[in-house]
Chains A and B, each alone.
Chain A
Amino acid sequence: MSSLPADLRYAKSHEWVRPEADGTVTVGITDYAQNSLGDITYVQAPKVGAVLAAGAVFGVVESVKAASDLYAPVAGTVVAVNPALDGAPETVNREPYGAGWMMRLRPADPAAPGALLDAAAYAALLG
């Protein structure tokens, strides 16, 4: 298991959240998630402007094995999606915490990301 970035927050459904300086958050899936899925072949992203409830399905990630829903870790409005994943979804396998990010949200509640798991709590969840 690779180490978990300490500056991120984590959801039990294996998405991560990075608070950005402008008040938005970047969302992706964890290294554990991409490794469990195997080769990622397609990412269905939400529409910019979509309003998501916490826990709502915001997209789908497909691997050779299966298609899995993606869940919004916090409520908010989609302000950007990662255009690179259209042509190169395998970026999620290679760089789950970097170039493989999936969307940027403006949280409905600025305090919500802070209530997610920190790296130590997520590591404990993974066991």
Chain B
Amino acid sequence: MTQLQRTPLRDFHAARGARLVDFAGWEMPVQYRSILEEHRAVRRAAGLFDVSHMGEFDVRGPGAAAFLNRLVTNDVARLFPGRVLYSPMCYPDGGVVDDLLVYQRAADDFFLCVNAGNLARDLEWIRSQAAGHDVTVTDRSAETALLALQGPRAVAILQGLTATKLSEIGYYHFAAGEVAGVPCVLSRTGYTGEDGFELYHAAGHAVRLAEALLAAGAPHGLELAGLGARDSLRLEAGYPLYGHELSPEFSPLAAGLGWTVKLDKGCDFIGRDALLSEKRAGSPRRVVYFRTGDRRILRPDAPVLDAAGAAVGRVLSGTLSPILQEAIGSALVATAAATAPLAVDVRGVAVPLQLVRPPFVPLGRT
């Protein structure tokens, strides 16, 4: 049993009643009192999430922009200093290495935010692809903490702690500033579907920043929220999670992320040939999102059945939507089967899937 990694807020969570679990090798709060209540607090007011387990890499040098545009499927040339881009990063066969955020600080200065579970593999992959490019890739993960403040009250809470004019930072933009005296990158991004900010800062300041946010947010209804609520919030918003809706096994086109694959961005990129072929021929399988009208949660890997009872796919994610009070989820299904009636067996009962286009609920941030 290897020692779990800890964020600088591990004891902060434990002191506030968190249930700590192993998430991708990290000891992380899955909930503080109730996943469902924390979820509703984020939709109603605001939630504070510790996501310091995520990875941050600096990518710097005269070749940084060209290198990154070859590395990821979205168009890095659209960035400018202060702008953030979401993109998958693919293998040559079109399968997904990871999905990430690309931040441009200056002409030759970028940083990436990647999933904790993929951090080591991403770093190895990125460094192996950087050979021949005039770039330096530096892992900043250990010294960087990340707090996400999300929900309709997030901006009001944060504005009380910073001189940075938050109204001037648009969605998927960022700025350097101070929050409660702590130097931060204030990024208007998130994984809940609500308005809010993600605050990158030095690990040594994490406890001070978290305490200041929690105190300032209390009158607004801010609650600590764990990874359980983070997962149900992202699924309700229709955002993919690596290892579920994104995988080395299928492409971002199959995942419904065609908008992030810029085949015509004017340069070659890793996976382009395979993705171009798949776009022309059509994806053999695709990710669909469903609701059921029933409270029984459909669990990952449960077979998806067609009307004849034949397996045509599998569930990728499933939870109870705390807002809709019914089961929602995603599945990977054969494209040919995706227009016919589908069901998932739950303990002998065939629960029919109602395919929907997410988000499942109206979002503050769309």
Contact = CB atoms under 8 A, between A and B. Distances in A.
8 contacts: A38-B31, A38-B34, A39-B34, A41-B297, A60-B347, A62-B295, A62-B296, A64-B228
Given A41-B320, A44-B347, A93 B34 contact: yes
A19 interface: no
A42 interface: yes
Contacts of B154: none
Contact of B297 (A38, A67, A90, A93): A67
A96 B23 CA distance: 29
Task: Identify whether the interface residues of B are mostly helix, strand, loop, or mixed.
Answer: mixed
B328 to A, nearest CB: 12
B35 interface: yes
Contacts of B296: 42, 44, 62
B36 A90 contact: yes
Interface string B183-224: 000000000000000000000000000000000000000000
B262 interface: no
A89 interface: yes
A61 to B, nearest CB: 11
Nearest to A89: B295
B87 interface: no
Given A60-B347, A64-B36, A64-B320, 16 more contacts: A38-B19, A38-B31, A39-B31, A39-B34, A39-B35, A42-B295, A44-B296, A62-B295, A62-B296, A62-B297, A64-B35, A64-B232, A64-B297, A64-B319, A67-B347, A93-B34
A64 B228 CA distance: 8
Contacts of A42: 295-297, 320
Contacts of A67: 297, 299, 347
B145 to A, nearest CB: 26
A90 B228 CA distance: 16
Interface string B1-25: 0000000000000000001000000
A68 to B, nearest CB: 12
Contacts of A44: 296, 347
Nearest to B31: A38
A38 B231 CA distance: 15
A48 B34 CA distance: 32
A83 B19 CA distance: 31
A69 B232 CA distance: 24
B7 to A, nearest CB: 21
Of A41, A42, A44, A62, which is in contact with the most chain B CB atoms at under 10 Å from its CB? A41
B295 A41 contact: yes
B295 A38 contact: no
Nearest to A35: B19
B40 to A, nearest CB: 11
Interface string A31-63: 000000011011010000000000000001010
Interface in A53-101: 60, 62, 64, 66-67, 89-90, 93
Task: State the 8 A-B residue pairs at the shortest beta-carbon distance, nearest first.
Answer: A41-B320, A42-B295, A39-B36, A39-B35, A64-B35, A42-B296, A39-B34, A62-B297
A41 B319 CA distance: 9
Interface in A87-119: 89-90, 93
Nearest to A90: B36
A50 to B, nearest CB: 15
Contacts of A64: 35-36, 228, 232, 297, 319-320
A90 B295 CA distance: 12
Nearest to B36: A39
Contacts of B35: 38-39, 64
Contacts of B228: 38-39, 64
A90 B35 CA distance: 12
Nearest to B19: A38
A64 B295 CA distance: 11
B226 to A, nearest CB: 11
A60 B349 CA distance: 13
A90 B19 CA distance: 18
Contacts of B19: 38
A26 B320 CA distance: 28
Nearest to B34: A39
